[in-house]
């Protein structure tokens, strides 16, 4: 199972994207746990998370989130603005899967 968390300023704007990613995971037969949290909710809620994707509106925090969460084995990156704007669940899921595979290969 892959566990993916999307983070944004308040955790609300990513909820529709999460739904589209969940549907895409079902369509592909993937066992995925995908949720959205606000940036302030992240601490203590990332147990067993594989990938943390930041909404474009908080991309300025990428460096600090990488420093905090990558040592825990969590891949961290920013959702592409076009994929976010179009609510492209398939593309964002692809990105998360690629990040998870790359992190696994580092081990």
pLDDT in tens, the chain (107 residues): 999 999 998 766 789 999 999 999 999 999 999 999 998 888 888 989 999 999 999 999 999 999 999 999 999 999 999 999 999 999 999 999 999 999 888 86
Residues acting as catalytic residues: 8
Phi, psi of 87 (to 5 degrees): 55, 45
DSSP string across 50-104: -EEEE-GGGGGGHHHHHHHHGGGT-EEEE--HHHHHTT-HHHHHHHHHHHHHHHH
| pLDDT one-digit tens code per residue, 16-43 | 999 999 999 999 999 999 999 998 888 8
Domains in the chain: ranges and CATH:
2-106 (3.40.50.2300)
Angle subtended at Cα 103 by Cα 97 and Cα 105, rounded to the nearest 5 degrees = 105
Q: What angle do CA 81, 63, 75 make, to 5 degrees?
A: 75
């Amino acid at each position: 199972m892959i566990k993916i968390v999307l983070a944004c300023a308040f955790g609300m704007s990513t909820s529709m994207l999460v739904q589209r990613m969940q549907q895409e995971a079902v369509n592909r037969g993937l066992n995925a746990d995908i949720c959205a949290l606000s940036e302030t909710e992240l601490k203590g809620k990332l147990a067993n998370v594989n990938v943390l994707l930041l909404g474009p509106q908080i991309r300025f925090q990428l460096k600090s989130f990488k420093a905090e969460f990558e040592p825990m084995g969590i891949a961290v990156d920013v959702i592409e603005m076009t994929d976010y704007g179009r609510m492209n669940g398939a593309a964002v899921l692809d990105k998360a899967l690629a990040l998870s595979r790359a992190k696994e290969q580092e081990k």
